[in-house]
Structure 1
Amino acid sequence: MEIDQIINTIFPLPELSKLNLIQHISEVSYSKGFCLMKANKIIPHIYFLKKGIVRAYASTENNDITFWFGTEGEPVVSMKSYVDEKPGYESIELLEDCDFYVLETEKLKTLFNEDIHIANWGRKFAERELVKTEELIISRQYKTALERYKDLIKEKPYLLQRVQLGHIASYLGITQVSLSRIRSEIR
């Protein structure tokens, strides 16, 4: 997905503001398995996924818990680093070879002070990330594993072809055995 499409998906900008923002964005590529962000580190960049898929996870003593998948067109950001300039709690692993657009957080904050349109774009960016987090929390608190799996099939069916079942089970908050039972129930 091209950067101007990603920007417009977040919030359309006037052409001059968009060009001003884009001139501070560069492209990077990393291979499958690369750790884009590490927990307990301040991440001074915002990434936008041009191509590929990533997962966000938190590590416990016994395993990693996947809580988010990012795909083409989505921002990849540690909100704690972005908002508070503090170490984030998540790690981000590439599940495929990925191409990203990258923007330094400090540069973006400077642009907020220089251009009200970019500042409003940044507000919409943060609001969208908040809504995604809210939806995830509500899903985990009020829906069964079967309902969460059905939502995944409906909203992001491509994940089932592109992501290991172990990561999907973790994302749903269940074991792989339970996921297998749910999948056979639905068939």
Structure 2
Amino acid sequence: MTIDQILDNLYPLPEVSRQILKKYIVEVSFPKGHILLRADRIEKNIYFIKQGIVRAYAQTGDSETTFWIGKEGSAVISMKSYVSNQKGYEDIKLLENCLLYELDSKKLQMLFDQDIHIANWGRKLAEQELVKTEERLISQQFLTATERYKELITNNPDFIQRVPLGYIASYLGITQVSLSRIRASIR
């Protein structure tokens, strides 16, 4: 996915504003297994996935709980760092070799003060991330595990080939055995 497509999916910018913002975005690559964002740190960068897939998880005792999976076009962000300049609670790990667009948060904040269109773009980014979080919370509270799995494969069918089933089970809030039963019952 190109940076222009990603920017437009969030909020179409006038060409002058788009070019100003793009001056601060650099393409970077990291290998599978790299931890892009770390818990208990104030993260200084925002990323957008050009190519690849990542997962966000939190440590819970001796295990990890996956609560978000992102792929091409997704923003990879610690909202707590972005909004409040506070330490985040999540680790974000690359599940594939990834090409990413990197944007320094402080430079973005500076651009917010200089360009109302970029400020509106940043607001839309935060709003869209809030809606995704709300949808995820509602799904976890009101849908059965089977309904959550069906929703996942409807909206992201490629996850089944690209994400280990253990992470998918964790994301759905079920055991891997339960996921296997659900998958067998749907076939």
TM-score, normalisation: structure 1: 0.99
Q: How many residues align?
A: 187
- Indicate yes or no: 2:164 matched with 1:164: yes
Q: Within 2, Cα distance between the matches of 1:181 and 1:73? A: 31
The AA in structure 1 aligned to 2:93 is: E
The AA in structure 1 aligned to 2:33 is: G
- Indicate yes or no: 2:140 matched with 1:140: yes
Question: What does 1:90-109 correspond to in 2, within 5 Å?
Answer: 90-109=90-109
Q: Within 2, Cα distance between the matches of 1:140 and 1:42? A: 28
| Displacement of 1:27 | 1.1
Kindly report the root-mean-square deviation, in angstroms, between the aligned alpha carbons of the 2 structures: 0.5
SS of alignment partner, residue 36 of structure 2: strand
TM-score, normalisation: structure 2: 0.99
1:179 alignment partner in structure 2: 179
SS of alignment partner, residue 28 of structure 1: strand
The AA in structure 2 aligned to 1:81 is: S
Q: Within 1, Cα distance between the matches of 2:45 and 2:97? A: 19
| Displacement of 1:170 | 0.3
Q: Within 2, Cα distance between the matches of 1:62 and 1:45? A: 28
Unaligned runs of 5+ residues in structure 2 are none
Query: What is the identity percentage for the equivalent residue pairs of Structure 1 and Structure 2?
Result: 60
Deviations 1:10-50 (A, max 9, x none): 00000000000000111110000000011111101100001
2:10 alignment partner in structure 1: 10
Q: Within 1, Cα distance between the matches of 2:37 and 2:96? A: 15
| Displacement of 1:62 | 2.4
- Which 4+ runs in 1 deviate beyond 3 A? none
Q: Within 1, Cα distance between the matches of 2:33 and 2:12? A: 33
